[in-house]
Chains A and B, each alone.
Chain A
Amino acid sequence: MEQPAISEELLQYQKELKGLREILFANIVMAGEIPAPTGGEQMLTRFLSDRFTESGLNDIAFDQAGNIAAVLPGRNPGRNLLLAAHVDKVWNDSDDHTVSVEVGRMGGRGLADNALGVATLATMPIILERLNIKLESNLILLGTTRSFGRGNLGGMRFFLENTDRKFESALCLEGMNLGRLSFSSLGMARGEISIEWSGEGERPDVTTTGVISTMQEVLHELIRLNGDSMPGLKILIGAVNAGSGYNVPPVSGRICFEIRSEEAEAVAAMEQKLFALADRFDQVSKEIVVGVEMIAHRSPGNLGDTHPLVEFARGVLETLDVRPKVEPSISELAALLTHRIPSLTLGLTRGSHRHSPGESIELSPLFSGLAQLLAVLRYMDRTDQKPF
């Protein structure tokens, strides 16, 4: 394995990247202020397209899933690297996307997840040009849509299923946190348990609590299953919704959950248990209908912590004096690993309050994050990646 004897290279990158800070920061502001809810990313992908055009890239295209891709041609036309960032944010169009800028810090909804990733993608052609980095490989810059929730990685999966390029390796960009090093994906099944009152006949508890008492029993069972499950398997309960006021018992409710495990079989087995659980509650009475809808699945994948790409990336972080934080991913990386493409997800800077209105990112560590990205990218460019 090539050791990252790269401290000088990293220092040089950090220094030169600071000369591009206005362009980068402006791209963060603009990418941050453009709403991009899952399934409604057109304005932000258009922004990326405009930036790629202004950078003089010729091969820029939207695909049927709404992804935007641009090609920075390398010297070897048969070799391809992928640099991807998901474009969608967890926020709605109507949420305030104003970005505030302080000394060394920016705040605003969606900045860390994932306006910073998008801005980095938008700035990458200029970064490579100004730092005089010429790659052997073609670099495909990809902004993907429909990452979150019911989007189910729709953009990345569509791209990988339909591209005619073979990728040597890939990187996914996430705004936070610097040090994040994901090289494996968890098996995951995401779904919703719905509880509806059919309206036929009345049960005494329905008249006072609607479907809430049944929801409470289902939740109790989910928590019990979580406690009884095998090590490494988790059921996350992400949302519980029912009702809309104070004095009308709700007639429908929804529990959003996610099953996670490194073992695909364990996820599938738990999924079956949840279907059985729903069936059991469904048969309690005619008036209360309980069902499960699965909306997303991920297969587990793992590049392995001894893979040369992982070891190199870890070495880069250590050289930058950043403690690597290894964590499995359930985002775009999962789709890449499913396609057997050696891939990593890297974080770009420190941030806080992700997915809350007070989301913010620090600007100073960003230059280390970008230096890391360039070093790993160059490593990917000059080495053939070991299959896994």
Chain B
Amino acid sequence: MPNLDQKIERWLGTNTYHHSEFWDLQALVKAKEESGLTISLCIPTLNEAKTIGKEIIVFKSELMDRYPLVDEIAVIDSGSTDDTLAIAKSYGADTYLSADILPRHGSKAGKGENLWKAIYQLKGDIICYVDADIKNIHSKFVSGLVAPLIYRPEIQYVKAFYDRPLAVSGDIRPSGGGRVTEILVRPLFSMFFPELSALMQPLSGEYAVRRETLEQLPFPIGYGVETSHLIDVYQAHGLDAFAQTDLDRRVHRNQSTINLGKMSFGILQSFLNRIKHYDIVEGMPDLPGIFRQLQAEGRRYETLNREIIEEERPPIITLPEYRERHGK
């Protein structure tokens, strides 16, 4: 596969950035203003009271007041039972309950639902998604992602990646490629979409995308949303539509192995849906949505079955409400 390797190597050279390349925020704001682009920052939340306030303060201060790079900061919440929304609002974010957006279409549980509804609710030409559980928050988490979209009109989708983990300490660790990426997603990409294996951290929750691309994407509402996006954007635009930015370190909560199992099941479902959709494997059967885990108590063993159905929202451009609101 010399051509593939060369292509990946070339892409890594031209489309992989380090956030420090965009240190000059003044220049970035100038380029943004010249391009006429507007930028929305979306933070999807569910019970993130511990970290949301800090994210809002830092982003609002650095990227709205000091350097006007971002035009709106919105928290889209799945129904937190802690103070997430009150804290976000008190520090100046626009706050929305996911269920209140597009009420005619109902409400589904899952982060992807918030991301999908954000496309309707927010105004920007670029939407930057940042997870709410980042403990070492910094403006680079946004500027490093939107910069390639501002400077290079051909780029559609920019993903974050971080240092690989060197050590695990307590419940906090620096995030690297991630266990699910290395054990599940990278092997799958290597088999079916080898060019996508060039993405260092395909599952990272931080990415920025042009509206015209986002509005064309179907949205799995659960764990598979990022994987599904990558496949759809790749199928529509190819590898050159992607860029990725090294944001150094990301400190966040660590997930238990049990949760990673559920996450992997959801991702695999979405992946296989896309395989079926693009007719990549002939005669793909319908597959069960029951994830089976085992637990032991002394010498008694039992199965824990959980139904995980990766529901999907249609491309938002197909909604008349969206077309009307955004003049499409």
Q: Which residues of A contact B (CB under 8 A)?
A: 22-23, 25-27, 29-30, 33, 54, 98-104
- How many angstroms from the CA of A23 to the CA of B92 in the assembled complex? 12
- How many angstroms from the CA of A119 to the CA of B53 in the assembled complex? 17
Residues in B neighbouring A26, C-beta threshold 8 A: 57-58, 60-62
- How many angstroms from the CA of A27 to the CA of B60 in the assembled complex? 12
Q: How far is the CB of B56 from chain A (nearest CB, A)?
A: 8
List 17 other contacts, CB 8 Å, given A25-B61, A98-B251. A22-B61, A23-B61, A23-B65, A26-B62, A29-B57, A29-B58, A29-B137, A30-B58, A54-B66, A98-B135, A100-B53, A101-B52, A102-B83, A103-B83, A103-B87, A103-B90, A104-B90
Q: Which of chain B's residues has its CB closest to A103's CB?
A: B90
B54 within 8 A of A: yes
B305 within 8 A of A: no
Residues in B neighbouring A101, C-beta threshold 8 A: 52-54, 57, 87, 91
Residues in B neighbouring A29, C-beta threshold 8 A: 54, 57-58, 137
Q: How far is the CB of B151 from chain A (nearest CB, A)?
A: 22
Q: How far is the CB of B257 from chain A (nearest CB, A)?
A: 24
Q: How far is the CB of B21 from chain A (nearest CB, A)?
A: 18
Q: Looking at chain B's contact residues, is the secondary structure mostly helix, strand, loop, or mixed?
A: helix
A22 engages B91 (CB within 8 Å)? yes
- How many angstroms from the CA of A26 to the CA of B58 in the assembled complex? 5
B50 engages A100 (CB within 8 Å)? yes
Q: How far is the CB of A21 from chain B (nearest CB, A)?
A: 9
A-B contact pairs, 8 of them (CB 8 A): A22-B57, A22-B64, A23-B66, A25-B91, A26-B57, A101-B54, A101-B87, A103-B90
Instruction: Identify which of B58, B60, B64, B136 gathers the most chain A CB atoms within 10 Å of its CB.
Output: B58
B231 within 8 A of A: no
Q: Which of B60, B66, B87, B136 is within 8 Å of A33, CB to CB?
A: B136
B319 within 8 A of A: no
Interface size class of B (residues with CB under 8 A): 20 to 34
Q: How far is the CB of B186 from chain A (nearest CB, A)?
A: 30
Residues in A neighbouring B90, C-beta threshold 8 A: 103-104
Q: Which of chain A's residues has its CB closest to B62's CB?
A: A26
B281 within 8 A of A: no
- How many angstroms from the CA of A285 to the CA of B155 in the assembled complex? 80
- How many angstroms from the CA of A26 to the CA of B62 in the assembled complex? 8
- How many angstroms from the CA of A344 to the CA of B235 in the assembled complex? 67
Residues in A neighbouring B87, C-beta threshold 8 A: 101-103
Residues in B neighbouring A100, C-beta threshold 8 A: 50-51, 53-54
B86 engages A103 (CB within 8 Å)? yes
- Interface readout for B136-167 with A: 1 if CB under 8 Å, 0 if not? 11000000000000000000000000000000
- How many angstroms from the CA of A98 to the CA of B60 in the assembled complex? 19
B36-90 CB contacts (< 8 Å) to partner A: 49-54, 57-58, 60-62, 64-66, 83, 86-87, 90
A-B residue pairs, 10 tightest by C-beta? A101-B53, A26-B61, A22-B61, A101-B54, A25-B57, A22-B60, A103-B90, A23-B61, A26-B58, A26-B57
- How many angstroms from the CA of A33 to the CA of B251 in the assembled complex? 13
- How many angstroms from the CA of A54 to the CA of B61 in the assembled complex? 13
Q: How far is the CB of B68 from chain A (nearest CB, A)?
A: 12
Q: Which of chain B's residues has its CB closest to A55's CB?
A: B66
Q: Which of chain A's residues has its CB closest to B87's CB?
A: A103
Q: Which of chain B's residues has its CB closest to A100's CB?
A: B50
B49 engages A102 (CB within 8 Å)? yes
Q: How far is the CB of A221 from chain B (nearest CB, A)?
A: 43
- How many angstroms from the CA of A102 to the CA of B57 in the assembled complex? 11
